Structure 1
Amino acid sequence: MKSSVYSPETARLEALYQYQILDTKPEPAFDDLVFLAAQICDTPIAVINLVDADRQWFKAKVGLDVEQMPRYLGFCPICVAQCDVLIIPDTLADERFAHSEIVTGEPYVRFYAGFPLVAPGGQAIGTLCVVDSIPYQITAKQIESLQALSRLVMRQLEIRRNPKLAYLVDGIKQQQAALRDRQQAEAELHWKEALLRSMTSVSPLAFYVVDNRTDNILSFNQRFCEIWGIEHLKAQMEAGKLQNKDIIPDCAKLILDIPAFAASCEPLQSEEYRAVVEDEIKFNDGRTIRRFSTQVRDRDDQYFGRLYLFEDITTRKQVEQQIREQAALLDISTDAIVLRDLSNNILLWNKSAEQLYGWQVEEAIGKNACQLFFNEPLWQYQEICHTVLEKGAWQGELQKISKSGKEIIVESCWVLVLDENSQPKSILIVDTDITHKKQLEKQFLRAQRMESIGTLASGIAHDLNNVLSPILMSVQVLKNKLPDRQSSQMLSIVENNVKRGANLIKQVLSFARGIEGDRKVIHLQHILLELQEIIQETFPKTIVVTTEIAANLSPIYGDSTQIHQVLINLCLNARDAMPNGGNINISAANIYIDENYTRMNFDAQVGYYIVLKVSDTGFGIASEVLDKIFEPFFTTKEFGKGTGLGLSTVMGIIKGHGGFVTVSSCINQGTQFRIHLPAVHTVATQILEDSQMLQGSGEWVLIVDDEVAIREVTATSLESHNYQIISASDGIEAIALYAQYSDKIQAAIIDMMMPNMDGETTIRTLQIMNPQLPIIAVSGLSTSEQVPLNKASGHTAFLAKPYTVQELLKTIHIVLN
């Protein structure tokens, strides 16, 4: 005789299979129940889960895409096994469930509540469960509601299995529904009235309902009377003694623009105008009232009235205006203001930040600052953040690189921003551009260094002269006492070298003190013409020398010998830079240096100057050594071919004359030295004729320069002399602006070195668009010979940075006329 074991699991599976529900299509009744479960707990996931022998099959679901999952996964099998409610508020807080696959992976379950579906025989065939990805505390009422829903699921399964029972249940439901309808019919109106009274008493909104057929006031609240100042009419309105037309005169007294208000009301009278209307009404007491209006229709969709809602938004408008003003203050600040969250994401980026760094606000907001400032060392950022979080602030200098690749030095101030709970929320950063300040400091330090070296050199030269003087005199005495040939030769060698040393000392003294010499009013024309003759006679024939001397060149006060020495030194350097021949150009012109120029050149002073230019077409000077060439004993020539005192002597002499020297160079293209010497005041009237400020006639000029300071200074200078300005920060923007305003723009000033599209490409493109457009190319690195302009054209010109307003106005006048 065989015995059989009838296990609880076997009985449970038999109870499940009796319903023949597995792998059936979705049914609205079950879908509605699972939807209600999700709504009750406000969870993203809810499931009616039937647990088979080796799988869990979902009859209805919300928030899941899968139809089934293995039985060993999840928490529903546990709920079924214990045949009782299973609630897990936070899976990660419970060691039993923290490492489950559905907790550590999709769908990342943090909250679970399962309610067993219990068959009439007591077997749990599945669950009704709700799931969330965040911890959740379920309430007692929600538990009761879900238990009721789980019973409804089982009832629906029983009805599905027994259609006759479904018919009986439907009849009972209909009777119960009819009974409920009758019981609720009388209560419905009272309930709505109570609700309306409650809404009326607590709502900050004023509401007003008018019957468009009779003009009767159907409903209103206290707030309506308060907003429109008609509290004195409230009793009559409640008694039905007043119609809509009776209160309009009192309301109209408050309206600032009655015709505009009347015009806004006209569309509202049309039965076809079903849209919700929103507008604002200005009161003459300064208040702003927002109005919402919509049609009121009955159950047959018949239009019988209109609902108006009114809200006093005066305070909100004032706050919005205050916020706009504060935002405007941020944008007019000259400092770059940036707000970053603690993850280094940019939350705020003002206009000055756009100008300083080059990224527009649309490009910066939401980005991680590391994406923009990729050169910012991570360790430096971490150190600064640590200091800010610990002390609340940090201040110091930072090296930045703009979008165009320009190196910037900023004085940066970081301040910690706290939230309402005094917890760190973000970091406010204010960056002040001190690049120009640092450049001036560098020039000042270099001038101090040169002065210190000069003082030292002066002392050394003095001592060396004391040493050389007795040697030279002793050599001459010995020559008389030792007349033999060998001794005479040896003494001549000593004498020549002592004299060479003495000349070297003279150069040191010229550098150190600028030796005043014989100062008088001199005309440079004679020195320049004499210099040209010397060069033509002594320099190789492969070097061509040209001079350009202004006809009315002003005189200077100085030592002609020293000026001659300066020019000779510069010309000798130019010769040495062109071993295979080339061109040397020497020019002299009057110039007036204004405040704009002095801001761009630390050594310059406001006043009248003579500018001497010595240009060559040699191999140029590397940019990394350009700042050192005026230092004594520094030379780029081969050993034995230069003392390193030539340019330092030039600098000493020119500074001794109250002038200054600037230089620009381009490798393999040439170098230009510009010597500025003060013109004597005795001929100021003569200079004034040449330096008068030429006025414009309202012409439109396009300024293209990536340097904001130069762009703004140039624009301001031209506007003050009757020109109208359009500005662009690069060539691409310039082309777009010219295409838009080609009928207005009469000339263009274009920087040669710019990001995105350089000056040469911009000029070429503009000349294709308009070959007759007057163009001035400007550069601080090039000379006119190095700029690809049509020299024969009267429509193009070159201007070297830094330039004065006088030079700019004169050049514009030339190309325009």
Structure 2
Amino acid sequence: MLEHAISETDLDRIVRMFDGSNLIVHGFDGVIQRWTSGCEQLYGWSASEAVGKVVHDLLDTRFPADVEELRTEVRNNGSWTGQVGHRRKDGARLAIVTRWTVLELGDPDTLIVQSNNDVTLMQQVEDELRERQAHLQSILATVPDAMIVIDDKGCIASFSTAAEQLFGYSAHEAIGQNVSMLMPSPDREAHDGYLDSYIRTGRRRIIGYGRVVVGLRKNGTTFPMELSVGEAVAGGRRTFTGFVRDLTSRHRIEAELRQSQKMEAVGQLTGGLAHDFNNLLAVISGNLEMLEARLAEPGQLSLLREAQSAADDGARLTSQLLAFGRRQALAPKELDVSALLGEFSDLVQRTLGDSVELRTIIPGRRMSAMADKAQLQSALLNLSINARDAMPAGGRLTIEISGVEIDSDYAGMYPAIRPGRYVLISVTDTGTGMTSEVMERAFEPFFTTKPTGSGTGLGLSMVYGFAKQSAGHLQLYSELGEGTTVRLFLPRADTGKDSHPDEQQAKDAPSLGTETILVVEDDARVRRVTVGRLLTLGYSVIEATNGIDALKELEAGHDVALLFSDVAMPGMNGDELARKVRERWPRVKILLTSGFSEPHAAEKEIQAGAGWLKKPYTASEMSTRLRLLLDARHGCDPA
């Protein structure tokens, strides 16, 4: 800026000296008085065309603020610098960094000298970089694999959205920390040594290929993961990018597949043995019958009949083995399962005794399935006896019949079941429950936790075989101290006789929403399906793997409209979480879900107004239940 007055001659000399630069001289009224050759090349107008024009009109200037405000700043401060938009003679737009400087001529006239620099190309490059960065961020925010970038010291430089969800740390918490925080011992202590060794020697352990390792979440839980690491060197700086895939679901599916294959092998073995044993029993029983016809002495006949009774027991035992091995001949026909249970309930109650209350929940319409009536009755009786034995001090047994539709999302979590319509028979007791170890072996033939002589260990295995042979499915849910639910899925017999308006309503388009739902589920597969369904319905979703993380999400101030939580979770269960949420955030609606037919562990919260949704559920059932809760007035019981 020139701080003293100059003459017109001096101004002309200055303009000629900087003729190659992009200088424009104009008054506060904007009328152009000087226009250099540099401006002619930049804008396309000659000096004769430009001089006398109002500069802002000629160049169609786009200011970052009101032009009068800028002129006031120039008068007060003597200069102004900023970025504006200009138009060339050919119509092209330019990004210009301009500096305005006040110039005094020694008389009342005051001029402004514009010094303009074309930054259009730089602006385009910056815009492209921002666009690419936004595109990259959108990819990283949506891919299921987590991405973590570290420097050569092992410090985290980037932490994707998927990494936040997987490990439980926010990007703000993770960036700048050593990546070993995501590893359990002894990998945590050894990591920096591995990294240092690679940088010094080039000896690779993980870099360049993937391997299965163990990850450590913020809440202290570990999980299997596949880690692939890539290396990049730019500007003398070395970075490592790790892609992490959670293998929890895959390992669980593989374990279920191995268990299924094991049960298949055991079934083939037991079926074969039972078939051969039946042949032996046929020989023994036949000869005993012939001997009985020839003996006349009462004492000998008594011994013979005892032997015949033992042979009959053996035949029944082999029949159960054949059922498990799926070699028992069935006589399937269309059955109204609701009617069958109504007829059969008296026998079940007599089997249970006076100390166990029997509760049956039967829909008021026909529920048809293709099944062997005798085998289904036997299966229900076996499940009832098992439930009775699990309640030595008495309790309640609930048998519920319902219609369900398994979609591809749910079937994807359980390879043994196919999508379709099923009659679901849920048998729930309030007994002692099972440990995870017992649950893993519950369907194995001859496995029992009962005292010696109190059972063969074939009850559940027979039901398992019956379900498989009937093209159905069997699921087991149990919690120590809470009870057990066995769920028998039998394919629906679609004859058209069991249609009902409620079922048509269930097939209607699910209800949509825009509220924020906090999903709390420790099973990663179930959580992914639930979140996917909610997003499809239009809801915003926040995920948590346990009760502690769910409370932290609420404490963070998220505008959560509804808590959708599993009941059976490690640590803080869904009932305890619901109670804390109800006390601290009373306006947050609560929907609890579980594989149990009855909400034993959450009865108080259900009574306090929480909703209940039994697994498995369809997207339509879930959306309907959500809207009932969200649309209800605060404090009303939506049940």
**Given the alignment, which residue of 463, 487, 490 partners 1:677?**
490
CA spacing shift, 1:588–1:720, aligned 2, 3 Å: same
Equivalent residue letter for 1:314: Q
1:807 is matched with: 621
Q: Select 2:98's aligned residue among 291, 309, 315.
A: 291
Match of 2:286 among 468, 473, 494: 473
Equivalent pairs counted in the alignment come to 595
- Structure-1 residue corresponding to 2:461: 648
Specify whether residues 590 and 372 from structure 1 end up closer, same or farther in structure 2 by C-alpha distance, changes over 3 A only. same
**Do the aligned residues in 2 keep the contact of 1:592 with 1:691 (CA within 8 Å)?**
no
Contact in 2 for aligned 1:229/1:251 (Cα 8 Å) = no
- Residues 654 and 780 (structure 1), Cα distance of their counterparts in 2 relative to 1, 3 Å cut: closer
- State whether structure 2 residue 113 is matched by structure 1 residue 314: no
- Correspondence for 1:269 among 63, 74, 80: 74
After superposition, give the CA deviation of every residue in 1:311-330 in whole Å (9 maximum; x if it has no partner): 51335424533344334433
How far residue 614 of structure 1 moved from its aligned partner, in angstroms, is 0.7
Distance 1:607 1:777 in 2: 25
The corresponding residue for 1:731 is 550
Q: How does 1:171-320 map to 2 (within 5 A)?
A: 208=23, 226-229=41-44, 233=47, 246=51, 253-255=58-60, 257=62, 262=67, 265-270=70-75, 272-273=76-77, 277-281=81-85, 283=87, 285-293=92-100, 308=115, 310-312=117-119, 313-320=122-129
Q: Tell me the distance in 2 between the aligned counterparts of 1:215 and 1:811.
A: 67
Is 1:798 matched with 2:612?
Answer: yes
Please give the alpha-carbon distance, in whole angstroms, between the structure 2 residues aligned to 1:757 and 1:643.
37
User: Does the CA contact (< 8 Å) of 2:434 and 2:484 recur in 1?
Assistant: yes
Equivalent-residue separation in structure 2 for 1:684 and 1:297 (angstroms): 98
Aligned-pair CA distance for 1:591: 1.9
Q: Is 2:207 the counterpart of 1:403? A: no
Which one is further off, 464-473 or 569-578? 464-473
Say if 1:209 and 1:229 are closer, same or farther in 2 by CA, change over 3 A.
Answer: closer
Shift of 1:264: 6.6
Native 8 Å contact 1:332 1:352 kept in 2: yes
User: Residues 151 and 240 of structure 2 are in contact (CA less than 8 Å); yes or no, is this contact kept in structure 1?
Assistant: yes
Structure 1 residues 229 and 390 mapped into 2: Cα distance closer, same or farther (>3 Å)? farther
Give 1:200 shift: 7.9
Shift of 1:499: 2.8
Select 2:208's aligned residue among 390, 393, 397: 393
Per-residue CA distance 1:255-296 (angstroms, 9 max, x = gap): 4637968457434432x2367543343655254223345668
2:137 maps to 1:330: no
Task: Give the deviation of 1:310 after TM superposition.
Answer: 2.7
Q: Which residue of 2 aligns with 1:789?
A: 604
Structure 2 matches for 1:15-414, cutoff 5 A? 208=23, 226-229=41-44, 233=47, 246=51, 253-255=58-60, 257=62, 262=67, 265-270=70-75, 272-273=76-77, 277-281=81-85, 283=87, 285-293=92-100, 308=115, 310-312=117-119, 313-321=122-130, 322-375=132-185, 377-378=187-188, 381=191, 389-390=202-203, 393-414=208-229
Q: Give the 3 Å change call, closer, same or farther, for CA 591–687 of structure 1 in structure 2.
A: farther
C-alpha distance 212-736 of structure 1, shift in aligned 2 (>3 A): same
Kept in 2, the 8 Å contact 1:394–1:414? The answer is yes
Deviations 1:593-614 (A, max 9, x none): 2233223332332222111111
Q: How does 1:532-681 map to 2 (within 5 A)?
A: 532-681=345-494
What is the deviation of 1:785?
1.7
| TM-score calculated relative to the size of structure 2 | 0.79
RMSD of Structure 2 on Structure 1 (CA): 4.2
Q: How far apart are 1:660 and its partner, in Å?
A: 0.6
Helix, strand or coil at the partner of 1:682: coil
Cα distance in structure 2, aligned partners of 1:513 and 1:384: 55
Tell me the amino acid that sits aligned with residue 135 of structure 2.
E
How has the CA–CA distance of structure 1 residues 502 and 762 changed in structure 2, closer, same or farther, with 3 Å as cutoff? closer
- Contact 1:591 / 1:691 at 8 angstroms: preserved in 2? no
Q: CA contact under 8 A between 1:516 and 1:559: conserved in structure 2?
A: no
Distance 1:338 1:779, change over 3 A: same
Q: Is the 8 Å Cα contact of residues 361 and 401 (structure 2) preserved in structure 1?
A: yes
Deviation at 1:438, TM superposition (A): 3.0
For residues 328 and 772 of structure 1, the distance between their equivalents in structure 2, rounded to whole angstroms, comes to 33
Partner-residue secondary structure (3-state), 1:578: coil
Distance 1:340 1:455 in 2: 53
Give 1:413 deviation, angstroms: 1.6
Give, in angstroms, the shift of residue 703 of structure 1. 2.2
Which letter maps to 2:92?
A: D
Deviations 1:116-170 (A, max 9, x none): xxxxxxxxxxxxxxxxxxxxxxxxxxxxxxxxxxxxxxxxxxxxxxxxxxxxxxx
- Percentage of pairs with the same residue: 24
Q: CA 1:259–1:500 in structure 2 vs 1: closer, same or farther (change >3 Å)?
A: closer
Alignment counterpart, residue 704 of structure 1, candidates 514, 518, 522: 518
Q: Secondary structure at the match of 1:703?
A: strand
The one-letter code of the counterpart of 1:285 is A
Q: Please give the alpha-carbon distance, in whole angstroms, between the structure 2 residues aligned to 1:292 and 1:755.
A: 65
Deviation at 1:657, TM superposition (A): 1.2
Higher relative contact order (CA 8 A, sep 6+): 2
Q: Tell me, in whole angstroms, the C-alpha distance in 2 between the residues paired with 1:338 and 1:760.
A: 35
Secondary structure at the aligned position of 1:803 is classed as: coil
Partner of 2:348, secondary structure, is: helix
Q: Secondary structure at the match of 1:787?
A: helix
**How far 1:585 sits from its partner (Å)?**
0.9
Question: Which secondary structure does the structure 2 equivalent of 1:455 belong to?
Answer: helix
1:607 and 1:527 map into 2 onto residues whose CA distance is: 22
Amino acid at match of 1:658: A
**In 1, distance between residues paired with 2:329 and 2:72?**
92
* Post-superposition CA distance 1:357-414 (Å, at most 9, x none): 2221111111101123235725885669978944661212233233244544333221
**Greater Rg by CA:** 1
What letter corresponds to residue 797 of structure 1 in structure 2? Answer: G
Check 1:791–1:495 CA distance in 2 against 1; reply closer, same or farther (3 A cut): same
Q: Deviations over 1:761-813 (max 9, x none)?
A: 553355447868753212357941211435556x4321133322243244346
Secondary structure of 1:641 counterpart: coil
1:413–1:429: 8 Å Cα contact kept in structure 2?
Answer: yes
SS at match of 2:149: strand
1:428 pairs, out of 241, 258, 261, with 241
Q: In 2, distance between residues paired with 1:297 and 1:336? A: 62
Which of residues 236, 251, 267 is equivalent to 1:438? 251
Task: State the Cα deviation string for residues 605-628 of structure 1 (Å, max 9, x = none).
Answer: 222211111111111010233222
Worse-matched range after superposition: 638-647 or 613-622: 638-647
For the residue of structure 2 that corresponds to 1:686, the secondary structure is coil
Query: SS where residue 589 of structure 1 aligns?
Result: strand
Assess, with a 3 A threshold, how the Cα gap between structure 1 residues 690 and 305 changes in structure 2: closer, same or farther: closer
Give 1:588 shift: 0.7
* Aligned mates of 2:28, 2:371 — CA distance in 1: 103
The answer to whether the 8 Å contact 1:336/1:431 transfers is yes
SS in structure 1 at match of 2:391: coil
User: What letter matches 2:519 in structure 1?
Assistant: D
Question: Cα–Cα, structure 1 residues 260 and 531, in superposed 2: closer, same or farther, change >3 Å?
Answer: same
